[in-house]
Amino acid sequence: MRRLLIMLFAAAALVACGRPGPGNFEKYTANENGIRQLHDYVQDGSNSMEERVGAFMALIEAGWALQTRTFLDGCKDRDELAVRLTDNLVGRLPALVGDRKKLAPVRDAAFIGLNRIPSDQRGGFQKRLAAWAFDGLKPDSTPEKVKDVVEPRILVNQISDLGMEGVDGAVLMIRHGFHVDKLANYVVGLKDPESSLKLLEAMKVLHAIPDVVVQFTHVVVIGKIRSPDAVNHLLDLASNEDQDPDVRAAAFNAATDLLEDSGDLKGDRAGVVLRLRRLLARKNADDRWSASRYLVQLEGFDVMGEVMDALKDDDVYPRAFEDPMKTMVDFCRQVVFKKGGTVAAWDVVNRLLKSSNRVHQTLGIICVKSSGEPSRSKLLKRLTRSRKALAGVLGEETTVGRLARNGQEGLAMMGEVDAARKAGKLTAKDAKRKLFIILVDLLDTGEDYRQAVQGRFERESKQ
């Protein structure tokens, strides 16, 4: 013990009496006082670049890798020094594989240096680091091989620092279930279409492994990939009854979110259309309406005959998760009249009204009302006498005739609201709210209808 203390005091005395320089940098890595002197030496621009890099290497190899950040950030020529240092560090890594204790500080310092290199000069170093970290791995490498190569070399949170160069290694790890959430978010965060498709393929391979449990987080990431293939995979997950119900619901919601802006989905949509047709054929009201909506959005009104055939009059609609009345109002506003009251849109409405199917008639009446055009009220006259019950369609004790009268009276009230707005008796905001209240009330008629609309309008105005 006494001998050890004597050696430490001698080392401290040597540092105190001298000055860092080539050949003695290691002596200054024994304590914090020496580290401070190395810090001053590195930040002194009068010392040569080669000598300053030598001081860095002594510091790092002694285990002070995290000090690299502080040392570099105070240098006026930080960019150039970071390039020289990182080049030196990356060059040493291959020889250190197999010796984790020596490798770790060199690697960690290399990544600190990498993040201080100007972005336009970083690519070459990222490529070298990626080649080293994933050396020898191939798409068909086994999980054991991937783990044996990657785990001793690079930390998971360092892979994202490789930018585009780290994608192939990251997706290979994802295929085998390694650090899926962290790596998937890194890849999708690059916002590079090609990288996102590589990620999607890796996810599909992962999800095909029998014992793998698809996580909600996987669905969220896939939902960020704007591709028909992403929609296909999400719809497949949604229809897979072996999956957790919450995951299935999340997958379906993510797929429909992508389909809402289907114009941005570049690529072959045939798979999406095929899956939507399968949904359309199911005896499930939510599936039918969703499939109908997105088929029309993708294929246009040419598929409306197919949609009408699928909207069978079989009393399943009241069992839907979403209120059938809201579903139909949304379908009219967001699908049939999405591009306004075009000739094609009104052709669809007329086909619905002329059908003998109660679901078609109901949807047609609601669409006429949703148009907000009082002049279209005459289209409903023929149906006002119908006594067909709609409990099996809307889940409410009403009839086709009553619904048609509701549509006529609603359109008349909408005309009154528009006139009041133009006369300055209603603000644009109040008029919009009142029009909505008139639209969504599908059950009342006569004075009850007017009172219900006015009552709700007044209550909401006070909120």
State residue 15's pLDDT score: 44
pLDDT tens column, 127-163: 999 999 999 999 999 999 999 999 999 999 999 999 9
Closest residue by Cα to residue 233 from 210, 258, 260: 258
State residue 9's pLDDT score: 45
State residue 216's pLDDT score: 95
What is the largest distance, in Å, between two alpha-carbon atoms of the chain? Answer: 110
- One-letter amino acid for residue 22 of the chain: P
Q: What is the CA 225 to chain-centroid distance, rounded?
A: 7
What's the angle, vertex CA 181, arms to CA 179 and CA 184, rounded to 5? 100
State residue 412's pLDDT score: 98
Distance CA 280, CA 306 (A): 9
State residue 22's pLDDT score: 84
Radius of gyration of the chain (CA): 34
State residue 327's pLDDT score: 97
State residue 63's pLDDT score: 87
DSSP-assigned states of every residue in 320-349:
SSS-HHHHHHHHIIIIITTT-S-HHHHHHH
State residue 13's pLDDT score: 44
202 backbone dihedrals φ, ψ, rounded to 5°: -65, -40
Alpha-helical (H) ranges within 160-284 are 167-175, 180-189, 193-207, 216-222, 228-239, 245-260, 270-280
Three-state DSSP string of 231-243: HHHHHHHHHCCCC
Q: What is the CA 17 to chain-centroid distance, rounded?
A: 60
Average pLDDT (154-179) is 97
Question: Helix (H) and strand (E) counts for the chain?
Answer: 25, 0
Structural contact between residues 27 and 15, judged by C-beta atoms closer than 8 angstroms: yes
63 vs 361, higher pLDDT: 361
- One-letter amino acid for residue 115 of the chain: N
Q: Is 296 helix (H, G, I), strand (E, B) or coil?
A: helix
Structural contact between residues 121 and 163, judged by C-beta atoms closer than 8 angstroms: no
pLDDT at 28 over 70: yes
Q: 21-25, 175-179, 447-451 — which is least confidently predicted?
A: 21-25
pLDDT tens column, 194-225: 999 999 999 999 999 998 999 999 999 999 99
Average pLDDT (235-264) is 90
State residue 1's pLDDT score: 46
pLDDT at 122 over 80: yes
Structural contact between residues 409 and 445, judged by C-beta atoms closer than 8 angstroms: yes
Mean pLDDT taken over the chain: 93
89 vs 18, higher pLDDT: 89
Q: Phi-psi category of 23—alpha, beta or left, where left has phi over 0 and alpha has psi -120 to 50? A: left
Length of the chain (residues): 463
Record the tokens describing residue 453, joined without a space: 């609309």
